[in-house]
Amino acid sequence: MRQTFDEATDPTFGPKHAPLIRRAMADQALDGFLIPHEDEHQNEYLPAANDRLAWATGFTGSAGAAVILKDRAAIFVDGRYTLQVRDQVDAGLFEIRDLVEGGVPAYLQEAAKPGWTIGYDARLHSPESLERLRTAAAKAGAELKPVAENPLDAAWGQARPAQPRAPVVPHPIQYAGEDSASKRARVGASLADRDADAAVLTAPASIAWLFNIRGGDVIRSPLPLGQAVLNADGTARLFLDPAKVTPDLPAWLGNQVTLESPDALPAALAELKGRRVLIDPAQSSAWYFEALKEAGAEIRKDADPCALPRACKNPIEIEGARRAHARDGAALSRFLHWAATEAQASLPDEVEIVSRLESFREATGALKDLSFDTIAGAASNGAIVHYRPTTRLNKRTERGSLLLVDSGAQYLDGTTDVTRTIAMGEPSREMAERFTLVLKGHLALARVRFPTGTTGSALDALARTPLWAAGLDFDHGTGHGVGSYLGVHEGPQRISKLPNTVALRPGMIVSNEPGYYKEGAYGIRIENLQFVTEPADVPGGERPMMAFETLTLAPMDRRLIAVDMLSAEERTQMDAYHARVLAVVGPQVAADVAAWLEGACAPL
């Protein structure tokens, strides 16, 4: 098993570790210290060695922050995590506050005292967030000060896990579709448009994409932690821990790329004196900005120049994604067959469900990793959007309720992410009605055509209007970008209520995952991945339109579809999707599964 069900922390973490941190703060004459969730690489999923917030507080959510002052402390989480934080953190030690409303700045302004010095690790904060924190501290008469050594790291000491040193390997051209020299030439040439002649790259996904390499430093993503300096002429310096460099790597990188130790990075930045250097403040911490400023570089704050080309998959990557989804769809269909038959009688618990699904994926022989820990939410656990099953929280499925399974796989040829909601026993009419509202939104977003320049924000409402009409909604985004054997959450595109100014472009992969959650009862989510295509013009059409092609191939539970609520168009669309699932998955599965699949994919 790849997935584990242990809890990495418990509420004693705060009481055990905060005193150690305070002692290390005192050694540096600090009256407080800032602990963001982010690590040195702005990763979403953190290596254990960098999960400082979890070690200091016990909180393991994907966003948050803490402040430890000498006389009090607070933890900051957003609306998704208000229940989880109470479960994981000692609220007697850490005051629980809202990350968004007021957040850390308001706390500093209120809790810091005149003359205090509050430390921060410049490698962990974006320059913008630091500016807000500095202003807030100043209002209280306190000062922010960068530390030379992180006092939390000092307190963690020997107990801290080692930095990950997973081997970095070539990502072959039959998967990447474009060689690194071509990518470097293309991205290098684009720097001129942004008035730059070099770029500092720190996002692991950009390093992986640009050099066609993959690593394993971060769980669930084949990311190599590292940095690079790319020049306008396509030459580059790549900084990777020598312990991670595999024998084939130098030849693979070629003679336009020098491979160096991260120890050489500060000197490399110093050499950028007088050059116009692009760096992304959303991806790179204040430390880089300080280093470049000191070096005398002309800083150009702009989006990571790899982000957009990385998001627009080339034909080889799309072909790979189709293969990966056909394979993954077969594994998932085997699982859905099990869930629709044996599991209906045995009513398994979440741990068993996760294990079964993993074993079907493992059996493909191509699984490199899960793309995230599988979410299996039985009954009321399905209504907790950021739920992960653990031994402690594990719940059995219940007859007459729903099971929500959100999972994905990393294959060399593509990354998958799919959610299916399964009826256990006989679903109620309410469950079917609400599933069907979610489905109507999902189908609308799958079939829409849209012109050049359309953003994901403009399309978000299409997935919600059927729910809105019924007085319902869901509190998460509708779609995120997905990498090609890279991160399962990847920008810059996004389908969301939040404003996003990045237009959708051919080759971009996005998820389409509306949901509905009835607290304490059940959760519904339907998620397929789809990519942006340029379809043939319709007769009489005057403008080229873009559209989506669905990648994910697995049946939806027809027992949850209230057919009377579907329009003729929606029914045709659903039947066509199921016919495609049957055609692609059917030939890959054994006779008993194929027989079941035929029924599962029959016209509604």
Closer by beta carbon to a copy of itself, 5 or else 450: 450
Cα distances (Å, whole numbers) of residue 544 to 65, 456, 535, 597: 46, 18, 8, 37
Closer by beta carbon to a copy of itself, 288 or else 516: 516
Site residues (CB under 8 A) for a copy of itself?
430, 448-451, 453-455, 457-462, 465, 468-473, 497, 499, 501, 537-538, 540-545, 567
Contact of 418 with 436, CB cutoff 8 Å: no
Closer by beta carbon to a copy of itself, 312 or else 547: 547
Rounded to an integer, what distance in angstroms lies between the CA atom of residue 107 and that of residue 111? 6
Peptide bond into 492 cis (omega under 30): yes
Closer by beta carbon to a copy of itself, 172 or else 468: 468
Task: Output the smallest distance, CB 478 to a copy of itself, in A.
Answer: 11
Task: Output the smallest distance, CB 470 to a copy of itself, in A.
Answer: 6
Task: Output the smallest distance, CB 566 to a copy of itself, in A.
Answer: 12
Task: Output the smallest distance, CB 108 to a copy of itself, in A.
Answer: 17
Phi-psi region of 453 (alpha: psi -120 to 50; beta: other; left: phi over 0): left
Structure tokens at 362: 């493992």
Rounded to an integer, what distance in angstroms lies between the CA atom of residue 308 and that of residue 313? 10
Task: Output the smallest distance, CB 178 to a copy of itself, in A.
Answer: 30
Closer by beta carbon to a copy of itself, 15 or else 79: 79
Contact of 243 with 223, CB cutoff 8 Å: no
Closer by beta carbon to a copy of itself, 109 or else 394: 109
Task: Output the smallest distance, CB 496 to a copy of itself, in A.
Answer: 10
Beta bridge partners of 231: 198
Task: Output the smallest distance, CB 434 to a copy of itself, in A.
Answer: 9
Mapped onto helix, strand or coil, the DSSP state of residue 397 is coil
Residue 138, number of CB atoms within 10 A of its CB = 14
Cα distances (Å, whole numbers) of residue 28 to 22, 105, 118, 134, 540: 10, 23, 10, 19, 72
Which residues, at least 6 apart from 518, have a Cβ–Cβ distance to it below 8 Å?
A: 383, 434
Task: Output the smallest distance, CB 464 to a copy of itself, in A.
Answer: 8
Task: Output the smallest distance, CB 34 to a copy of itself, in A.
Answer: 24
Task: Output the smallest distance, CB 504 to a copy of itself, in A.
Answer: 12
Rounded to an integer, what distance in angstroms lies between the CA atom of residue 347 and that of residue 424? 8
- The residue written with tokens 């900051």 in the block is 76
Closer by beta carbon to a copy of itself, 380 or else 484: 380
Closer by beta carbon to a copy of itself, 158 or else 501: 501
Closer by beta carbon to a copy of itself, 391 or else 465: 465
Q: Which residues of 191-220 are buried (b: 16+ CB within 10 A; e: fewer)?
A: beeeebbbbbbbbbbbbbbbbbbbbbbbbb
Contact of 503 with 530, CB cutoff 8 Å: no
User: Closest by alpha carbon to 69, among 20, 8, 111?
Assistant: 111
Closer by beta carbon to a copy of itself, 378 or else 462: 462
Closer by beta carbon to a copy of itself, 242 or else 468: 468
Task: Output the smallest distance, CB 499 to a copy of itself, in A.
Answer: 5
Closer by beta carbon to a copy of itself, 264 or else 470: 470
β-pairing, 479-480 with 494-495? antiparallel
Task: Output the smallest distance, CB 231 to a copy of itself, in A.
Answer: 24
Phi, psi for residue 184 in degrees, rounded to 5: -65, -35
Mapped onto helix, strand or coil, the DSSP state of residue 132 is helix
Closer by beta carbon to a copy of itself, 220 or else 464: 464
Rounded to an integer, what distance in angstroms lies between the CA atom of residue 70 and that of residue 72? 6
Residue 442, number of CB atoms within 10 A of its CB = 26
Task: Output the smallest distance, CB 460 to a copy of itself, in A.
Answer: 6
Amino acid making up residue 381: N
Which residues, at least 6 apart from 223, have a Cβ–Cβ distance to it below 8 Å?
A: 43, 204, 205, 207, 208, 214, 215, 216, 217, 486, 487
Rounded to an integer, what distance in angstroms lies between the CA atom of residue 416 and that of residue 553? 11
